[in-house]
Structure 1
Amino acid sequence: MLTIEQLNVWFGHAPERVDAVKSADFHVAPGESFGLVGESGSGKSTILRAITGLIDTWSGRIEVAGETITGRRRSQEFHKTVQMVFQDPYASLHPRHSVDRVLSETLNLQGMDQIDARITRLLDQVGLGRGFRFRYPHQLSGGQRQRVAIARALAAEPRLLLLDEPTSALDVSVQAEILNLLCDIRAERGLTYVMVSHDLAVVAHMCDRLAVMREGRIIEQMDAATLRAGAAQGEYARALIAASTSYTRET
């Protein structure tokens, strides 16, 4: 479903140019859930933004569903294949647009018919129901806003969903609900996920495989069982896992 080969992403021009991603390589099979983990600033979210076309200063090869991506993602077909759920549900929804308008505009842009029925079905699928249809973002909790953002992404009936820290801006009590919702949606629709997270426990729960990033480079790939066992090969990946699971109190 997704192939990344020798991906480089940068910002600015020499001598101030910043190389955010350096020679990244990975692939994601149809129906698989793949994680990108690492410290803040390691390039995880930048890869997702390059895939979607939000960043156009990149080189290398990006292939989605067998199609090589070049230039800006203007085709309707691309956006029917790939959608993204952003980190902050407070920023990703227009404050003056109702849930109905958010979803109906997306459905119209994708050329969908039976808009009313589709909106009702989408709200049911994300656990909101039709009672939320005419509410505005300020009338919703953080978890409810993220459910709307997920419904908006699903409106295009994508095959690949990019998840950029989808629960990090939410209360801990709500995070598990959203993660379980995403697991259910993936199973029901046969979707492929690429998830960025700093939380290794989330990745271990959500993903089949993952890549560890450091300073813009992918330094190791492993499956979720290896992550859960703390059996990474490299020293940095082992230290990252250890830091996420426990700490030693100084005496």
Structure 2
Amino acid sequence: MSSEPAVEISNLTFSHSPPGGRPNDAIVALRDVNFTLPTGSRTLLIGGNGAGKSTLLYILAGKRMIQQGIVNVFGKDVFKDFPPNLVYLGTEWAMNAGVRRDIVVSDFLNSVGGYRHKERRDHLLDILDIDLDWHMHAISDGERRRVQLCMGLMGEWDLLLLDEVTVDLDVLVRDGLLNFLKDETVNRGATVVYATHIFDGLNDFPTHIAHMRDGSFVLNPTPWPLNPSSDNAGLTLHAIALRWLSSDRALRIQEEKEGKRAKTRGPRTNAAPDDVNRESFYKKYDYSH
């Protein structure tokens, strides 16, 4: 296993403008991120929706140009010298119209090089329980997700970035996939960074866990299991995730009460004129009673 870090991020801050917004309306999605991941590690990113997990994975994959900071993968700048054997798998793939056409799975996999990786492809076909005679337009979202995973994993990748892609899998297939990924990190020294909201069955998977909130790391990637002196020592990943996300929500609510941030979630106690007008319109034309 290489002693070179798989990922090195320094002083990373990333902002984006909302749809239709102006540069001055930029939203800070990541702020002052600094961490290093060892080669062969399996890091679990834990955080609520909007915490910055997907943005971070997109940047690591070279899919978002940064304004500030350094992002290196295996010693290479992902924007200047994109590293080979980096794979990103996200949820948007299965929604693409191009992969919902009437194409047989065997032909689809061969069209993206499956014939070059026959041994690994066949191993993944067994793990993911894929029928090569399936037609892409006629299968379920979960089955289409399995095809995506086979496509992305059949080559010998060195860094794998997973963003919620196990959400459609049944528990048996998901367990087989996680065992496959674990073997890849142990036997080949590959590295995995995995963002998910499903924590059952994960206790034996990560080598590191991290806590993200509002674009920052509350806890940088830290070896798992946690140090016995930690406040969360002895808890399952599910229990830790519940504790962290509950704390994040309580902090947000407290900051809203103190006026440190605008209240945008939950019921509106002081409706804006436009909201009142909309409600009046729908009451006028409500024929459901």
TM-score bracket for this pair, using the shorter chain length? 0.7 to 0.9
Contact 2:16–2:26 (Cα < 8 Å) also in 1: yes
Question: Which residue of 77, 81, 88 maps to 2:85?
Answer: 81
| 1:175 CA drift (Å) | 3.4
| 1:149 CA drift (Å) | 1.8
The match for 2:11 is: 6
The match for 2:277 is: none
The match for 1:151 is: 150
| 1:190 CA drift (Å) | 2.9
TM-score, with structure 1 as normaliser? 0.75
The match for 1:249 is: none
Q: Give ranges in structure 2 of 5+ residues lacking alignment.
A: 1-5, 234-238, 247-289
Distance between the aligned counterparts of 2:158 and 2:240, measured in 1? 34
| 1:129 CA drift (Å) | 8.8
| 1:142 CA drift (Å) | 4.4
The match for 2:182 is: 183
| 1:126 CA drift (Å) | 4.2
Q: CA RMSD in A?
A: 3.4
Distance between the aligned counterparts of 2:184 and 2:142, measured in 1? 16
- C-alpha change, 1:220 and 1:180, in structure 2 (3 Å) is same
- C-alpha change, 1:138 and 1:223, in structure 2 (3 Å) is same
| 1:165 CA drift (Å) | 1.6
The match for 2:268 is: none
| 1:100 CA drift (Å) | 3.3
The match for 1:170 is: 169
Q: Which structure is richer in relative contact order (CA contacts within 8 A, separation 6 or more)?
A: 1
The match for 2:204 is: 205
Contact 1:204–1:228 (Cα < 8 Å) also in 2: no
Distance between the aligned counterparts of 1:206 and 1:99, measured in 2? 30
Give the fraction of aligned pairs with identical amino acids, expressed as a percent.
23
- C-alpha change, 1:156 and 1:117, in structure 2 (3 Å) is closer
Q: Which moved more, 1:13-22 or 1:169-178?
A: 169-178
Distance between the aligned counterparts of 1:229 and 1:173, measured in 2? 34
Q: Give ranges in structure 1 of 5+ residues lacking alignment.
A: 108-114, 246-251
Larger Rg: 2
Contact 1:10–1:19 (Cα < 8 Å) also in 2: yes
| 1:120 CA drift (Å) | 5.7
For each residue in 1:176-206, what CA deviation from the matched residue of structure 2 results, as whole angstroms up to 9, or x when unmatched?
3433333344444431101112344565432
Distance between the aligned counterparts of 2:48 and 2:29, measured in 1? 13
TM-score, with structure 2 as normaliser? 0.66
The match for 2:41 is: 32
Determine helix, strand or coil for the equivalent of 1:211: strand
- C-alpha change, 1:89 and 1:185, in structure 2 (3 Å) is farther
| 1:52 CA drift (Å) | 1.2
Contact 1:99–1:133 (Cα < 8 Å) also in 2: yes
The match for 1:111 is: none
Q: Which moved more, 1:124-133 or 1:158-167?
A: 124-133
The match for 1:112 is: none
For each residue in 1:13-67, what CA deviation from the matched residue of structure 2 results, as whole angstroms up to 9, or x when unmatched?
5321111111111111111111211111000111000111222244211111111
| 1:242 CA drift (Å) | 2.9
The match for 1:90 is: 94
Contact 2:62–2:78 (Cα < 8 Å) also in 1: no
Q: Which moved more, 1:44-53 or 1:195-204?
A: 195-204
Determine helix, strand or coil for the equivalent of 1:205: coil
The match for 1:226 is: 226
Corresponding pairs, count? 229
